[in-house]
Each structure stands twice: as C-alpha cells, then as structure tokens.
Amino acid sequence: MPFCVAIDGPAAAGKGTVARAVASEFDLAYLDTGLLYRATGAKTYEGLSPIDAAQSLTADDLARDDLRSGDAGQAASRVAAIPEVRAALVDFQRAFARRSGGAVLDGRDIGTVICPEAEVKLYITATDEVRARRRHAELIASGEDVSVEEVLENLRERDERDSARAAAPLIPADDAMVIDTSDMTIDEAVKIVAQIVSQAM
Ligand code: C5P
C-alpha cells in the first residue's frame, strides 16, 4: 500500500535528519529531493543548460561528494526556480512517493505539488539563527571553512529565492502540520514526528 510522508520546510530546519530517522524506524524508502536540484545545479558547471542537466540526471550524478556545500545549495536554488527543470524531475518524485512499500520525501514542494494526497504532511521549520548554527556545525564537520554569518546569509538568500519563485514556491500546504524545532533537539523532533506517523499508519 502506498503511504507517503511529505516533509517540507526551509533550508537546514532538520528535515533531512528527521526524515531519514523516521524512514528507518518505519522501514519506508527515503528520498532527499534537494539532492536532485543540487545535482542539476552541479551539472550546469560542466556547460549543460539547467534543463538539459535535469533531463539527463542519473544516479551517478546524485553520488557526487561536493553536493552538500553552500555553493551547491545556491546553484540548486537557482535552477529550482526554472519551471522546465522542476517539470523534468516531477515524474520520478511522484513515482517514488507512491511506491508500494511507502516513502518519506523531504523538500520544498512535496505536500503542495509532488504528493498533495500524502497521508502525513509536515512543514518543519526553525528560526534563521538556529538553522544557521546547525548547518554551520555540519559544514565544519565536513571540512568546510565557513563562518556562521556566511551560512546565515546563504540560508536567507536561498529561502528568499525559494519562497519568492512562481514555480512551486516554499510554502506550507494548507493542511500541513507545522513543527517548529527551534527549541527542540533533533531527537525530540524525531520522536514527535514518529508519533504522528505511527498514528497515521
Ligand atoms: O533541501 P536542500 O537544501 O538540499 O535543497 C537545495 C535547494 O533545492 C533548495 O534551496 C531549493 O531551491 C531546491 N529544492 C526545491 N524543491 C525541492 C527540494 C529542493 O526547489 N523539493
């Protein structure tokens, strides 16, 4: 039976960590849809147009090790504003969302565009400062040399672009449950989401 958990929200709100943990707990497949846009953005550096990059995306493109950087996030949010790029990535995401064993997807438009009929719809957020501190810690751990202020500026620029675009903007679905993780540990957020998912199953 298809069972979809749709998790949207701004950059570095803890969506990925929560989504991964819940997928593992309930034995659901997990798709980080941001990776599709990051890989598309990275391919444009090889001279491909954003649309060609999205249309020719392969599993190998998603395995690059430079996709988590701040620059890759910016490139992703620029290509993500192009309607044809989004259109090229829709079918794969929709099929994933409705796979028979159930799935968790996180991104910006999962509850609004990719899987509006999702059994669980969440919008996970946190203050800009909390998100910047969390992402900064991740980037430092992965060896990037960057300040919290730079990370904060990068997140705000990306959120503004993602919220302002005409195509599938970042916005909570009308029927999404909004969870603010500013004052929670990630473990607490995982517990809350796991409870919501188990009640919907
Ligand atoms: O989630 P992540 O930060 O990896 O996403 C990178 C960028 O990809 C976002 O800033 C956004 O512009 C774009 N994105 C999107 N729709 C999604 C997932 C990501 O537009 N479903």
Residue 37 has pLDDT above 80, yes or no: yes
Query: Among the listed ranges 24-38, 59-73, 99-113, 157-171, which one has the minimum average pLDDT value?
Result: 59-73
The three state secondary structure string of 33-93 is CHHHHHHHHHHHCCCCCHHHHHHCCCHHHHCCCCCCCHHHHHHHHHHCCCHHHHHHHHHHH
The pLDDT assigned to 144 comes to: 87
Instruction: Summarize pLDDT for 124-176 with one digit per residue, the tens.
Output: 999 999 999 999 998 899 888 999 999 999 999 999 999 999 999 999 999 99
For ligand 1, atom 9: residue with the closest CA: 77
In contact, 120 and 5? CB cutoff 8 Å: yes
Separation CA 70–CA 11 (nearest Å): 11
What pLDDT score was predicted for residue 174? 96
Ligand 1 neighbourhood includes 9 CB (under 6 angstroms): no
Mean pLDDT of 95-112: 97
Query: Whose C-alpha lies nearest to ligand 1, atom 19?
Result: 34
Predicted complex ipTM: 0.99
Token pair recorded at residue 187? 């473990």
The pLDDT tens digits of the residues spanning 66-93 come to 898 888 999 999 999 999 999 999 999 9
Please name each of the domains of the chain with its CATH number.
Answer: 4-200 (3.40.50.300)
Instruction: Judge whether residue 31 has pLDDT over 90.
Output: yes
